[in-house]
Amino acid sequence: MSRTKKIKIIVPIVIILFLGAYGRHRQLGQESNVVGRLQEKDMNEISGIAASGINQNLYYIHNDSGDTSRFFAILPSGELKSTIYFKGDPRSGYGVFDCEDIAVGPGPAKGKSYVYMGDIGDNYSARPYITVYRMLEKKEWATKSKSNAEDVAPIHLKYPDGPKDAETLMIDPIERLMYIVSKRQDSVTVYTTPLNYKVNDTVMLTKRCKLFFKGLKLFKWITAGDISKDGRQVLIKSYTKVYYWKRNGNEPIWQTVQRVPQQLPYTQEKQGEAIGFTPDGKGYYTCSEGVYTPIYYYAIPQK
């Protein structure tokens, strides 16, 4: 066989072997980030994740539209520890309309930790207002299979520039502000409102800034975000990317996120709409919609 013929045979084989090894390397890399898998069929439309402020190694997740007014307490392995029900909006047959994100942070009682459930989804940008429910965290949520949230305190929020679809709710413990980031526009908008509010009050959000992320529409839509427990770090994610910022001093978060972000590792999920810091701020978890979907953990690169 001539040298030329040998090269024509060998080169394609080498390319195939290289692509196979590369694909296996990517697969192993993705598998190494999987730390658990959701273990209940009811958890099939996950749209938010947040670390408990009082129970070690416990995380809250929830479904989006179509589910009742409830959320789940799980371990990073995906094991369900508790289902927590809360009193929602009687106008909805489900108690809520479209819960899209969940956050944990301070509230009215000093030294207490609260869960904030964001019923903020609005696919058709038609809701006259959105609602966030604040609930006092309980230790029993780590062990009791079913529980009812008490001291449920809703606040109704309006946008100053008309209804928006949003899937990102964040709590800033330093300035004690609630953050909402819109989802679908070419440049998304950041809004805030104080954590201190009157129960069932209707409040106009404050428009803070616009953020532009490169990419194709749909793929770059903003689906989740989180502020670390100490208020020093910020995560915002789209369907395909995770963006990260460090806060400078006590500057407002809406100023922090206007700087060029660092892009962090992320394995693209089926429909990834959930991201949350670990309590120590050294890493983050992501999860997707779907039955028995994997839970991914990523360490934040240290510079």
Q: Structure tokens of 131?
A: 């609602």
d(CA 58, CA 110): 22
* pLDDT at residue 80, as a whole number: 97
pLDDT tens by residue, 159-197:
999 999 999 999 999 999 999 999 999 999 999 999 999
Which pairing describes strands 262-264 and 242-246: parallel, antiparallel, or unpaired?
antiparallel
What letter represents residue 215's amino acid? G
pLDDT tens by residue, 210-237:
999 999 999 999 999 999 999 999 999 9
Q: Structure tokens of 170?
A: 């964040």
Dmax (CA) for the chain in angstroms is 85
Backbone angles phi and psi of 241, in degrees to 5: -140, 155
* pLDDT at residue 198, as a whole number: 96
Least confident range from 13-17, 45-49, 211-215: namely 13-17
Sheet architecture: strand order including 283-288: 34-37, 294-299, 283-288, 272-277
* pLDDT at residue 150, as a whole number: 87
Residue 16's pLDDT band, with cuts at 50, 70 and 90, is: very low
Q: Is the pLDDT of residue 29 over 50?
A: no
d(CA 234, CA 244): 6
- Which has more pLDDT, 2 or 212? 212
* pLDDT at residue 18, as a whole number: 35
Task: Measure CA 134 to chain center.
Answer: 17
d(CA 142, CA 75): 9
**What burial class does residue 28 get, using C-beta atoms within 10 Å of its C-beta: 0-12 exposed, 13-18 middle, 19+ buried?**
exposed
Task: Measure CA 90 to chain center.
Answer: 26
Helix or strand run (H / E) with residue 28? helix 3-33
The dotted CATH code for 38-299 is 2.120.10.30
d(CA 290, CA 19): 29
Mean of pLDDT values over 234-244: 98
d(CA 278, CA 297): 9
Q: Is the pLDDT of residue 30 over 60?
A: no
d(CA 10, CA 60): 53
Which pairing describes strands 80-85 and 130-136: parallel, antiparallel, or unpaired?
unpaired
Task: Measure CA 120 to chain center.
Answer: 13
Q: Is the pLDDT of residue 13 over 90?
A: no
Q: Is the pTM of this model over 0.85?
A: yes
Q: Is the pLDDT of residue 140 over 60?
A: yes
Residue 6's pLDDT band, with cuts at 50, 70 and 90, is: very low
- Is 16 in a helix, a strand, or coil? helix
Q: What percent of the chain has pLDDT over 70?
A: 89
Q: Structure tokens of 25?
A: 């390397």
Q: Is the pLDDT of residue 98 over 80?
A: yes
d(CA 174, CA 275): 20
Q: Where do the structural domains in the chain lie, given as residue ranges?
A: 38-299
Residue with tokens 């899209």: 100
* pLDDT at residue 9, as a whole number: 53
DSSP state of 276: E
Q: Is the pLDDT of residue 152 over 80?
A: yes
Q: What is the mean pLDDT of the chain?
A: 91
d(CA 223, CA 74): 21
